[in-house]
Amino acid sequence: MVLRLAIFDCDGTLVDSQADITLAMEAAFAAHALPAPPRAQIRRIVGLSLAEAIRRLSPDCDAETGASLVQAYKDAFRARRATGVLEEPLYDGIATLIADLDAAGWLLGVATGKSDRGLAHCLDRHGLTGHFLSLQTADRHPSKPDPSMIEACLAAAGADRAATVMIGDTAYDMAMAINAGVCAIGVDWGYHPRDELFAAGAQAVAGSVGELRLLLKALEA
């Protein structure tokens, strides 16, 4: 029996977290009396590890300021969670898709720029935790597109690269999949446009959860 592994990005793929990420980033820059980057620019760094995201958003700041911005972002995001205003809604159809893939025998993993705490809270809130056998985050890996998170998922699942697919909404996800030698499928409801996903190596880009389901079904053949 072939062990098929589907690895999902989280932000922009499973959940729409752009509002929370943008507001937390703006709060971090405001805490340092720095002008916040444009929201379109913040959207583009979603998926990277936080330290790498800050480096791209504020390339001229020194290491100390960069580290302080990282902490300020974490503090702002946790404050949103603690006060109950954190949203991170699931995209329509995702919960059913995950449950159906699990029931069909797919092994499931997550590879995300979130922290361990952030991912655990997100999946638990939506009742998805039990479906995933491997949860890989920026706490324990280099930033995407380094293939480290995919390699860890492969090891945990005991799956073959040829039977593994990475699903994500950014060019970073697609490049990570290519670097790991696995199939790359993009989704266009997230934060990078279709043309960038294809340019980064996507073999297909789903325009809806239903279309993603069909693409994954085709891989079972």
| 110 and 66 in a common domain | no
Q: Based on the domain organization, do 199 and 139 belong to the same domain?
A: yes
Chosen domain end from 82, 110, 136: 82
Q: What is the pLDDT of residues 54-63, one digit of tens each?
A: 999 999 999 9
Domain of residue 144 covers 5-16+88-219
Residue 210: CB atoms within 10 Å? 11
pLDDT-based confidence at 220, cuts 50/70/90? confident
pLDDT of residue 99: 98
DSSP string, 177-190: HHHHTSEEEEETTS
Average pLDDT of the chain to the nearest whole number: 96
Same domain as 174, residue 153: yes
Q: Are residues 104 and 180 in the same domain?
A: yes
Claim to verify: residue 139 and residue 202 sit in the same structural domain = yes
Counting residues of the chain whose pLDDT is more than 90, the rounded percentage is 96
Q: Do 48 and 97 share a structural domain?
A: no
- The whole-number pLDDT of residue 180 equals 98
- pLDDT score for 70: 95
Q: Residue 211 pLDDT > 90, yes or no?
A: yes
- Judge if 98 and 76 occupy the same domain: no
What's the total number of domains in the chain?
2
For residue 221, is pLDDT > 80? no
Residue 164, domain CATH: 3.40.50.1000
pLDDT tens profile 171-208? 999 999 999 999 999 999 999 999 999 999 999 999 99
User: Based on C-alpha coordinates, what's the Rg of the chain?
Assistant: 17
Domain's final residue, options 36, 67, 82: 82
H or E stretch at 164? strand 164-168
Residues 107 and 212 in one domain: yes
Say if residue 137 is in the same domain as residue 67. no
Residues 50-103 pLDDT 10s: 999 999 999 999 999 999 999 999 999 999 999 999 999 999 999 999 999 999
Residues 31 and 130 in one domain: no
Q: Which are the catalytic amino acids?
A: 9, 11
Q: Are 194 and 186 in contact (CB under 8 A)?
A: yes
Last residue of a domain, one of 51, 82, 113: 82
Question: What pLDDT is stored for residue 2 in this prediction?
Answer: 82
CATH of the domain at 65: 1.10.150
How many angstroms separate the CA atoms of 87 and 216, rounded? 28
